[in-house]
Amino acid sequence: MARTKKGVGKSAPQFLEGDPATGYLPGRKWPVIRYGLVSLLAATILVFAIELIVRGDFGGTVGFFLQPFKPGWTTIIIFALILIGLDAVLGRSHHSLMIVAPLTLALAFVGHQKSLYLGDPLYPTDFLYSRQIVALMPLLVRERPGTAIALAVGIVGSLSLLVYGWRLWRRRVPALGRKGRLARLTLTVPLLAFFVSIMDYATFSWTRDRLQIIPIMWDQKENYASNGFALAFALNVPMAHVAAPAGYSDKAIAAIDRPDVKASVPTEKPDIIIVMSESFWDPTELPGVTITPDPIPNVRALRSGHVFSPEFGGMTANVEFEALTGFSNAFLPAGSIPYQQYVRAPVPSMATFLKSQGYETRAIHPGTSWFWNRTPVYADFGFDDFKSEENMPYLEKRGPLTSDAAMTDEIIREADATDDPFFYFAVSLQNHGPYEPNRYYNPTHKVQAPTSQWAKDSLLSFTEGASDADKSLERLIEWAKNRRRPTVIAFFGDHLPPLGPVYVETGFLKDNVAPRKEPSDQMLLHHRTPLIVWSNRTGPVADMGTVSPAFLPYHVLTTAGISHPYYTGFLGQMRERYSVVDRNLLLTPTGEDTPDWARKKQIDPAIRDFRLLQYDMMFGKRRAAPDFFPETVNKRVPHTS
């Protein structure tokens, strides 16, 4: 017996629980199994909680885990491995929960809020513009002080409990020994490295396929619903790299049809002003809503057509990207923000071209210059100057933000002080959401709607801002009518406003935001904003229909009598074939639609060439520059960041 006990005493050590100094318990496997089961249970509860928060639906969350070998179970295994590996780093069993749980649950909460507010899931690249969110906090606090206070108290309380729990755990739970920590790392590091290796959605993975993790990058809402929040979030990490389109080569670029169009401007160069009005939209399109007086009479009288916004309720920079470059978000990864991720060197834009023709090029925005990374982006787009709140005179506010009237006066002041022909691109700020009731103390409109009082008051706040934008357009056009120099003005809304419950209560939408994929008639209804293209020589352009922002350079330059190989040549040919180029929809000028075009085996050669040209100029060798963007040839291409 003594010899047996001695033998047992010398048997191979078992790790994870037991002797505080070593982390081992001789001769017994139960602590190992218990630790593994507890880690697995903790991972299961945590992953379930994450999905429940993001989805906001208990039944849908349960359904996500019902079938075996689905992404939900893979996620649980990955989380268990992370917990075990992090325990080894921290030196105490289950201590990792105090880091992993708060972090992932907070991400889930933010993801749920983003989905409610903007309709899109949370992407890794969203953290590139976290500073923008912080900058908007004063506005959110002013509009929703109760929510802000509750959130602040919750954050402080949670952090206090976390600090207390951390210190208590380190006092009560024995430290793991060196061998126990090494064993954990030996188990987890190779397995986690393996899972990381299969997360690149651009390459086929047999293992990922067997685990039924299918990257659905063309439909991110379905991607997150099918693969779960954590795995879909991980699948989006490689988004920072844009792979070359199939068939991209020097030969493919050379084969693209060259329009017989040269760069030219009239002898008397027209001045050009483009105003992208924040969230500008016609609120009378809401069912059952009556607003008196008409909030947008000038836009209604001058309207040339509509812009089909690729966004809903936010992401202004993506609309701006299309309108200035004539390129399309449809050819970039879903959820990406080119201003944040891809514009890191000069990219051709209308400003680049017009500057080469002797124009003064200036961007104007009465907000902070760093918002949406605009300062380096505008420089890469070829603007001479960027006027923001940091270098403009103080502009009067209406409500909490700089008024459209003040911004319009600043545009006129800048123009009157300029002798050279100019191109101004202005982005307004006044009517930025949220639209809490009583935003303006002196409303001039009345709203009748079959909704709650809160929804009516919220809609009134938006309506007042839209009316102010309409009056500012009237002021700008009246000024231009009296100018000797030819002047072209374009005015459009970047996206529908984030009105949330107003849409639901009026029956305009089923949810607070529009789906990414709908029948084409519904897509048009939920993504179009008013568009005016006007000249002081010929008046408003008529019957433009609904067009993607990428086609605005074509319409603006054509109205100004300016030609260019790409902006009026190539885009002009594209415009004859399509009026809308969206990642989920192609629409012809006659209304024929092609939904889910990117997933079809055969893609229209015109769309293929559009994508190849864009990739070549943004990420490739710029072989197309001499023929399509001659103003960029022999220009140094430095990186701005």
Q: List pLDDT tens digits, range 286-319.
A: 999 999 999 999 999 999 999 999 999 888 999 9
Check whether residue 231 and residue 336 sit in a common domain: no
Check whether residue 464 and residue 581 sit in a common domain: yes
Check whether residue 290 and residue 407 sit in a common domain: yes
Using alpha carbons, list the distances in angstroms from residue 329 to 332, 488, 600: 5, 26, 18
Res. 11: pLDDT tops 70: no
Q: List pLDDT tens digits, range 16-58.
A: 444 443 344 444 566 778 888 898 999 999 999 999 999 988 8
pLDDT of residue 261: 93
**Domain range for residue 106?**
20-239
Residue in the block written with tokens 């749980």: 101
Q: Which of 99-113, 218-232, 246-260 has the highest mean pLDDT?
A: 246-260
Check whether residue 438 and residue 505 sit in a common domain: yes
The answer as to whether 245 is a domain residue is no
Report which of residues 373 and 272 the model is more confident about: 272
Check whether residue 223 and residue 349 sit in a common domain: no
Check whether residue 287 and residue 362 sit in a common domain: yes
Cα radius of gyration rounded to whole Å, the chain: 29
Q: List pLDDT tens digits, range 491-503.
A: 999 999 999 999 9
Q: List pLDDT tens digits, range 512-528.
A: 888 888 999 999 999 99
The answer as to whether 10 is a domain residue is no
Q: What is the Cα–Cα distance from 535 to 507, expressed in whole angstroms?
A: 38
The answer as to whether 615 is a domain residue is no
The answer as to whether 203 is a domain residue is yes
Q: Which residues of 470-490 are buried (b: 16+ CB within 10 A; e: fewer)?
A: bbbbbbbbebbeeeeebbbbb
pLDDT of residue 306: 97
Q: Determine if the pTM surpasses 0.85.
A: no
Check whether residue 170 and residue 124 sit in a common domain: yes
**Domain termination site, one of 581, 597, 613:** 597
Q: Which residues of 593-603 are buried (b: 16+ CB within 10 A; e: fewer)?
A: ebbebbeeeeb
Check whether residue 434 and residue 553 sit in a common domain: yes
pLDDT of residue 388: 93
Q: Provide φ and ψ at 295, rounded to 5°.
A: -75, -25
DSSP β-bridge partners for residue 363: 386, 425
**Domain termination site, one of 239, 258, 277:** 239
Q: Which of 96-100, 228-232, 453-457 has the highest mean pLDDT?
A: 453-457
Q: What is the Cα–Cα distance from 359 to 363, expressed in whole angstroms?
A: 13
Q: Provide φ and ψ at 481, rounded to 5°.
A: -60, -30
The answer as to whether 609 is a domain residue is no
Check whether residue 97 and residue 189 sit in a common domain: yes
Using alpha carbons, list the distances in angstroms from residue 19 to 13, 22, 24, 99: 11, 5, 5, 25
pLDDT of residue 19: 44
Check whether residue 210 and residue 326 sit in a common domain: no
The answer as to whether 623 is a domain residue is no
Helix (H, G, I), strand (E, B) or coil at 403: coil
Q: List pLDDT tens digits, range 623-639.
A: 999 999 999 987 654 44
The answer as to whether 607 is a domain residue is no
pLDDT of residue 284: 96
**Domain termination site, one of 190, 219, 239:** 239
Check whether residue 529 and residue 381 sit in a common domain: yes
- What is the count of structural domains for the chain? 2
Check whether residue 235 and residue 288 sit in a common domain: no
**What secondary structure does DSSP assign to 2-60, as a single string?**
HHHHHHHHHSPP-BSSS-TTTSB-TT--HHHHHHHHHHHHHHHHHHHHHHHHHH--HHH
CATH number assigned to the domain comprising residue 479: 3.40.720.10
